[in-house]
Structure 1
Amino acid sequence: MTVGLLRVAKRSALSPGYTQVLSMDQEPGIGMSLGIWNLAPGQGATAGSSEAETAVLALSGTGTLSSPSIALQFSRPEWIETPPTVIHCCAGESVQARNDGDTPVELIVVQTRNRRPFSPRHYRPENIQIEHRGKGILQETCHRIVRLVFDDNNGPPESNLVLGEVVNFAGRWSSYPPHSHPQPEIYYYRFEPPSGYGYGELGDDVFKIRSVTTCITSGQSGIWKEIDTKALRSIRNTPGLSAKRVSEPPDK
């Protein structure tokens, strides 16, 4: 499948409770679901599926993520400065979340169909792999921070997901050099301040990207220029590929 930008879904504000941003049932070619839990103080939620593996990432707030084997407390007042806490489980398992603080908790839920069993994986902020990509070249114009939560190197071999965050600096390029890969990929954007924005080139098309924007790409070269932004990056691996690892190419 070779597609460009499938959809740019924008919302001015996220509603309390659960917001479905992308559904794998509605976008079978992408094969991933993306949702946001907005939990009030004291509120809890459960994420899981009998057909899909599930990853829950704590985007902001103070609370607890738990699976049958462990409970992880998190406090993330500033997503720019603090790596995420994540629990990743297979189909048939679930992740419980609870808001233990005085402000809302925001969670990102990513799923893809996969019934292969694996033990739940837990990632604390100190476990997240931090890479400064593009540093020291092109006058720092493509320097960004990549927070890789899991891929084929540290995630379950039975998994079909890659998950991470990319923190981009004001006025600099992300995803440099322009590249493509056959696997579907989701970018979910946040800006600080929320009035920030960026521009993305995908083939011959140019898109203005604002906060709470979802971009889905597959099989087409692209490059993005951001202003004070962070993107959650999720990729669905395609079974049968000889090279399952999916990542940005080395900087040149």
Structure 2
Amino acid sequence: MTAKYHSEIGTEQGLNTLPHNPCELLDFSTVRLAKGQSHEGHSGDREILAVVLGGKVDVRVGDSSFAAVGGRPNVFAGKPHSVYIPAGRDYSFTAVTDVQIALPSAPSDLDVDPYVIAPDRVANGRWGAANFSRNFHQILTEVAQPDLPARRLIVGETFTPSGNWATYPPHRHKVDDLPREARHEEMYYYLVNPGDGFGISRVTTDEGDEENYTIRNNVMQMMPEGYHTLVSAPGYETYFLWFLAGEQRTQGAIDDPDVGWVARTVPMLRALGH
């Protein structure tokens, strides 16, 4: 059966793109470079947040240059450095060390200067409770970084401990009905520690569709619709880079009505999370 909401993304040197994408706004790619290698691109009509997953890279965006961006060896070893690339810009990456960069993007008409988001601007904390608690980084959100401009992108990272669930109770963001709910597409890019591990991801819709998928390194979960959740296998920690896009950046979600009672009976550390 062909998976509608999941796929794997390549791990070749250079640019890796999605083999299919059911979303209308969001897109995603990765760039992998060995020390000294370069990659060039143009953002077109999209804004891009270049999130350094591991390593260091020199970044040029138009006439702006940012030297040695990054530092953590991998996503499980600290907060990220990121570079916001506005629409309509040439950009290039030159690897200072071996480097992997994630490139979530969305349509944008925002004319602003590129900028770096250093680790000290990344908010961190814990969402959930009991065995559905997980740790988060908010990289580019309206709540944690209200002074950083973006047209649509909302970006963060979640770390789900061994045996725990994340995005639980499952939630959706299908319609603009703030403050109750906001219409956003969303994607998750997964990595697992140790690397031979796995988890399980689940997407369901109000129309009765259901898709369960094994999480491994470099798996993409793509959600133009639906309630979504995931669990880490015992002994393994799952990471996912999460990013959303809609007509506005204010977040709102509603829980799956069949499972939402959990949030009402278990004390929650935070009401809205990934």
Corresponding residue number in structure 2 for 1:207: 213
Which of 178, 181, 184 aligns to 2:173? It is: 181
Number of residue pairs matched by the alignment? 234
Asked if the contact 1:21–1:36 (Cα under 8 Å) also holds between the matched residues in 2, the reply is no
Corresponding residue number in structure 2 for 1:85: 81
Corresponding residue number in structure 2 for 1:123: 117
Q: Residues of 2 paired with 1:228 and 1:54: CA distance?
A: 27
Please say which of residues 92-101 and 33-42 is displaced more in the overlay: 92-101
Please say which of residues 74-83 and 61-70 is displaced more in the overlay: 61-70
The answer to whether 1:232 aligns with 2:226 is no
Corresponding residue number in structure 1 for 2:107: 113
Alignment CA distance shift 1:126-1:169 (3 Å): same
Give the TM-score of the pair, scaled to structure 2: 0.77
Give the TM-score of the pair, scaled to structure 1: 0.83
Q: Residues of 2 paired with 1:248 and 1:148: CA distance?
A: 17
Q: Residues of 1 paired with 2:14 and 2:211: CA distance?
A: 34
Q: Match of 2:139, as an amino acid?
A: V
Q: Residues of 2 paired with 1:195 and 1:163: CA distance?
A: 26
Q: Residues of 2 paired with 1:245 and 1:149: CA distance?
A: 15
Percent identity reads 18
CA offsets, 1:217-244, max 9 Å, x none?
13322221124111011111225xxxx3
CA offsets, 1:166-219, max 9 Å, x none?
111111011122111021101010111221111122224422222110111133
Asked if the contact 2:84–2:114 (Cα under 8 Å) also holds between the matched residues in 1, the reply is yes
Alignment CA distance shift 1:247-1:76 (3 Å): farther
Which of 156, 161, 182 aligns to 1:164? It is: 156
The answer to whether 1:149 aligns with 2:161 is no
The unaligned stretches of length 5 or more in structure 2 are 175-183, 205-209, 255-269
Asked if the contact 1:56–1:95 (Cα under 8 Å) also holds between the matched residues in 2, the reply is no
- Following superposition of structure 1 onto structure 2, how do residues 92-107 of structure 1 map, counting pairs within 5 Å? 92-101=88-97, 104-107=98-101
Q: Residues of 2 paired with 1:247 and 1:99: CA distance?
A: 38
Q: Residues of 2 paired with 1:109 and 1:54: CA distance?
A: 6
Q: Once the 2 structures are TM-superposed, how far is the Cα of residue 122 of structure 1 from its aligned partner?
A: 1.5
Give structure 1 regions of 4+ aligned residues with deviation exceeding 6 angstroms: none
Q: Once the 2 structures are TM-superposed, how far is the Cα of residue 53 of structure 1 from its aligned partner?
A: 1.1
Corresponding residue number in structure 2 for 1:31: 25
CA offsets, 1:8-34, max 9 Å, x none?
2125x61111111267xx64x432221
The answer to whether 1:15 aligns with 2:16 is no
Alignment CA distance shift 1:66-1:143 (3 Å): farther
Q: Residues of 1 paired with 2:164 and 2:190: CA distance?
A: 15
Helix, strand or coil for the counterpart of 2:113? coil
Alignment CA distance shift 1:119-1:235 (3 Å): same
Asked if the contact 1:201–1:223 (Cα under 8 Å) also holds between the matched residues in 2, the reply is yes
Q: Residues of 2 paired with 1:15 and 1:127: CA distance?
A: 31
Q: Residues of 2 paired with 1:39 and 1:64: CA distance?
A: 12
Which structure features the higher share of strand residues?
A: 1
Q: Residues of 2 paired with 1:221 and 1:7: CA distance?
A: 11
Over the aligned positions, Cα root-mean-square deviation in angstroms equals: 2.3
Corresponding residue number in structure 2 for 1:45: 39
